[in-house]
Structure 1
Amino acid sequence: MPALLDVTDFGALPGHPHTDAAPAVRAALRAARAAAGPVQLRFPPGEYHLWPDRAHGRELYVSNTVGDDPRHRVKSIALLVEATDDLVIAGEGARLVLHGLQTTFAVLDSQRVRVEGLEFDIAVPTVVDATVVGAGVAAGRAYRLIRVPAATLFSVEGASIRWHGEALESGGFAWSGRDALAYTQIHDPAGQRTWRGPNPLFEDVRSIRLVRERDIRIDYGYAEEPADLGLVYSMRSRTRDHPGALVLDSCDVTLSRLRFRFLHGFGVVAQTSRDVTVEGCEFRAPPDSGRHSAGFADFIQFSGCSGRAVVRDCLFDGPHDDPINVHGSYLRLAGQPDPRTLELAYPHPETAGFPQFAAGDQVELVDRATLQAIATATVRTVRQPSGRDHDQPLRTILVTVDVELPDGLVGWTAVENVTRTPTVRIVRNIFRNVPTRGVLVTTRRAVLIEENRFEHMGMAAIYVSGDAAEWWESGPVRDLTIRGNKFIEPGGPAIHLDPRSTRRAPGHAVHSGVVVTENQFVLDGVPALDAKSTRGIRFRDNSIVQRGQETPDIVLRSCFDVRIELDGAGPP
Structure 2
Amino acid sequence: MARLLDVTDFGVLPDRPGTDAAPAVRAALRAARADAGPVTLRFPPGDYHLWPDAAHRRELYVSNTTGDDPRHRDKSIGLLVEAAADLVISGEGARLVLHGLQTTFAVIDSRRIRVEGLEFDHAVPTVVDATVVDVGVEAGRAYRLLRVPAATLFSVEGTSVRWHGETLGSGALAWSGLDALEYTQIHDPVAGRTWRGPNPLFERVHAIRRVGERDLRIDYEHAEEPADRGLVYAMRQTTRDHPGGLVLDSSDVTLSRVRFRYLHGFGVVGQNSRDVTVEECEFVTPPGTGRHSAGFADFLQFSGCSGLVSVRDCLFDGPHDDPINVHGCYLRVTAQPDDRTLALEYPHAETAGFPQFSPGDQVEVVDRATLQVIATTTVVSVRQPSGRDHDLPLRTMAVTVEDALPSGLAGRAAVENATRTPAVRIVGNVFRNVPTRGVLVTTRRPIEIAGNRFERTGMAGVYVSCDAAEWWESGPVRDLTIRDNDFIEPGGPAIFLDPRNAVREQPVHSGVTVQANHFVLDDVPALDARSTSGIHFHDNTIVHLGKQTSDVVLRSCPEADIDTGAAL
Common fold by TM > 0.5: yes
1:475 positional shift:
1.3
Partner of 1:297: 297
Is the contact between residue 154 and residue 161 of structure 1 (CA under 8 Å) also seen in structure 2?
A: yes
Please give the residue correspondences for 1:244-283 in structure 2 after superposition, counting only pairs within 5 Å. 244-283=244-283
Partner of 1:92: 92
* Cα distance between partner residues in 1 of 2:421 and 2:213: 51
Partner of 2:518: 520
* Cα distance between partner residues in 1 of 2:185 and 2:29: 38
> SS state of the match for residue 96, structure 2?
strand
Partner of 1:555: 553
1:13 positional shift:
1.2
Is the contact between residue 426 and residue 450 of structure 1 (CA under 8 Å) also seen in structure 2?
A: yes
One-letter amino acid matched to 1:428: G
* Cα distance between partner residues in 1 of 2:124 and 2:564: 50
Partner of 1:288: 288
- The TM-score, its normalising length taken from structure 2, stands at 0.99
Partner of 1:196: 196
Partner of 1:144: 144
Please give the residue correspondences for 1:499-518 in structure 2 after superposition, counting only pairs within 5 Å. 499-505=499-505, 508-518=506-516
Runs of 4 or more consecutive aligned structure 1 residues displaced over 2 Å after TM superposition: none
Cα deviation digits, residues 185-212 of structure 1 (max 9, x gap): 0000000100000000000001000111
Cα deviation digits, residues 234-260 of structure 1 (max 9, x gap): 000000000000000000000000000
Partner of 2:69: 69
1:550 positional shift:
2.1
One-letter amino acid matched to 2:382: V
* Cα distance between partner residues in 1 of 2:479 and 2:387: 31
> SS state of the match for residue 364, structure 1?
strand
> SS state of the match for residue 359, structure 2?
coil
One-letter amino acid matched to 1:430: V
One-letter amino acid matched to 2:75: K
1:213 positional shift:
1.0
One-letter amino acid matched to 1:186: I
Partner of 2:382: 382
Partner of 2:213: 213
| RMSD (Å), alpha carbons | 0.7
* Cα distance between partner residues in 1 of 2:337 and 2:19: 57
One-letter amino acid matched to 1:34: A
Please give the residue correspondences for 1:46-85 in structure 2 after superposition, counting only pairs within 5 Å. 46-85=46-85
One-letter amino acid matched to 2:230: G
Partner of 1:530: 528
Partner of 2:372: 372
Name whichever of 210-219 and 174-183 sits farther off: 210-219
* Cα distance between partner residues in 1 of 2:139 and 2:373: 67
Partner of 2:455: 455
Is the contact between residue 322 and residue 436 of structure 1 (CA under 8 Å) also seen in structure 2?
A: yes
> SS state of the match for residue 382, structure 2?
strand
* Cα distance between partner residues in 1 of 2:259 and 2:548: 41
* Cα distance between partner residues in 1 of 2:207 and 2:370: 54
- The TM-score, its normalising length taken from structure 1, stands at 0.99
* Cα distance between partner residues in 1 of 2:169 and 2:507: 57
* Cα distance between partner residues in 2 of 1:516 and 1:406: 38
Partner of 1:330: 330
> SS state of the match for residue 496, structure 2?
strand
Partner of 1:107: 107
1:568 positional shift:
6.8
Is the contact between residue 541 and residue 568 of structure 1 (CA under 8 Å) also seen in structure 2?
A: no
> SS state of the match for residue 24, structure 1?
helix
Structure 2 portions without partners, runs of 5+: none
One-letter amino acid matched to 2:539: D
Partner of 1:409: 409
* Cα distance between partner residues in 1 of 2:92 and 2:548: 50
Cα deviation digits, residues 310-349 of structure 1 (max 9, x gap): 0000000000000000000000001101100010000000
* Cα distance between partner residues in 1 of 2:158 and 2:364: 58
Structure 1 residue 128 and structure 2 residue 128: aligned? yes
* Cα distance between partner residues in 1 of 2:530 and 2:413: 21
Partner of 2:425: 425
Cα deviation digits, residues 422-462 of structure 1 (max 9, x gap): 00000000000000000000000000000000000000000
1:362 positional shift:
0.4
Cα deviation digits, residues 122-167 of structure 1 (max 9, x gap): 0000000000001011111110000000000000011000000000
Q: Percent of aligned positions with the same letter in both sequences?
A: 76
Is the contact between residue 135 and residue 145 of structure 1 (CA under 8 Å) also seen in structure 2?
A: yes
1:303 positional shift:
0.3
One-letter amino acid matched to 2:371: L
Partner of 1:446: 446
Partner of 1:566: 564
> SS state of the match for residue 68, structure 2?
coil
Partner of 1:471: 471
1:222 positional shift:
1.0
One-letter amino acid matched to 1:417: N
1:397 positional shift:
1.0
Cα deviation digits, residues 67-100 of structure 1 (max 9, x gap): 0000000000011100000000000000000000
One-letter amino acid matched to 2:152: T
* Cα distance between partner residues in 1 of 2:106 and 2:220: 46
* Cα distance between partner residues in 2 of 1:492 and 1:568: 21
> SS state of the match for residue 310, structure 1?
strand
1:7 positional shift:
0.3
Partner of 1:3: 3
Partner of 1:17: 17
* Cα distance between partner residues in 2 of 1:395 and 1:367: 21
Partner of 1:360: 360
One-letter amino acid matched to 1:421: T
Structure 1 residue 398 and structure 2 residue 379: aligned? no
One-letter amino acid matched to 2:416: E
* Cα distance between partner residues in 2 of 1:115 and 1:54: 22
Please give the residue correspondences for 1:334-345 in structure 2 after superposition, counting only pairs within 5 Å. 334-345=334-345
